[in-house]
Amino acid sequence: MTNRTNWPAPTCSTQHPVDFDIFWNTCQASLAPDDLHETEEFSSPQAAFCRLILQNGKDVLCARLLRPATPTSVLIDFHDIGRSARGHYYLSRYLPAGCAVLAPELPADAAVCCGAPDPQTPGGVPVLLRTYKAALRALRAARQLFPHLPVAVSGEGLGGAMALLCAAQSDAVTVCTVLNPLLLDLRTMAGAGAGGYYQPLTNWFRAQNPTRSRQEELFCALDHLDCMNFAPPSSCAFLLGSSRMDPLSPAAAQLALFQHSASTDKRQILFDKYTHERVNWYEDAQLEFLLQHLA
């Protein structure tokens, strides 16, 4: 762990919507059942390596699935935006922890606010909300395939938001490990004129609301998707990896997220010289954390 003296004070402008619990209860209740189709691609003495399809009409979600002979837990690994699910070889690193592994292929658009923001739509960005719902579908599939087993969730970037959402919405999730989660502190990010992933949000203000008279309305809708409101509960062990130079997930807000979590078993690892990227040191610490809590 690095020295905190060169880090900003913990702060985040995200607000907790009064209808937050109702919103997510409604979202989960609205998820239609998925038909699960599993195909084995190859096997080894350690596990079967499979392809899983979650199908609800034309709505299809694909995932990689690793099945050890006698799993003691199940890990759902969410990838970041602009990336894809990790390959079978990488995911096999979790097998020594006794984990069956589910790695869903979530939408990977290059912009966080893919699609047009809409302040009058619950969640603020319909396409983005569907990604969050896909994460809940993956969680439900894991519970169907491995009933009664404890669930761990992990993710980087936007995948971190998916992991935090699952931890906040299900008592079955006992371990949550994330690196540089986003969306986080959207009011600050939009005010700073962040481009790239946040460009559609900036474009909406320029084209639809240049006076920003509706910004509070939009941010109140987006607060339903903000990581700050998914801080893991007391029953969930929590590992947070944070990069000080990350331009997409503010360091100050990550510190605030860690403080806000009610987890009684939590650890934060700080990386001074990293931006929004994969961090090998974090991956080592994450595996150690999982072995400590699952093996």
Among 15, 6, 12, 16, residue whose Cα is nearest residue 253: 12
Pairing mode of beta strands 266-271, 99-104? unpaired
pLDDT at position 194: 59
pTM here is: 0.94
DSSP annotation of 224 reads G
Output the domain CATH number for residue 267.
3.40.50.1820
Residue pair 230/161 in contact by the 8 Å Cβ criterion: yes
| Structure token digits, residue 183 | 């969306």
Q: What is the pLDDT along the chain (295 residues), one digit of tens a residue?
A: 455 668 999 999 999 999 999 999 999 999 999 999 999 999 999 999 999 999 988 889 999 999 999 999 999 999 998 888 999 999 999 999 999 999 999 876 655 555 667 888 878 888 888 899 999 999 999 999 999 999 999 999 999 999 999 999 999 999 999 999 988 998 888 766 556 677 778 788 888 888 888 888 888 999 999 999 999 999 999 999 999 999 889 999 999 999 999 999 999 999 999 998 999 999 999 999 999 998 6
DSSP annotation of 230 reads G
Q: What angle do CA 288, 103, 128 make, to 5 degrees?
A: 115
- Tell me how many domains the chain contains: 1
Domain of residue 86 covers: 4-294
Strand partners, 21: none
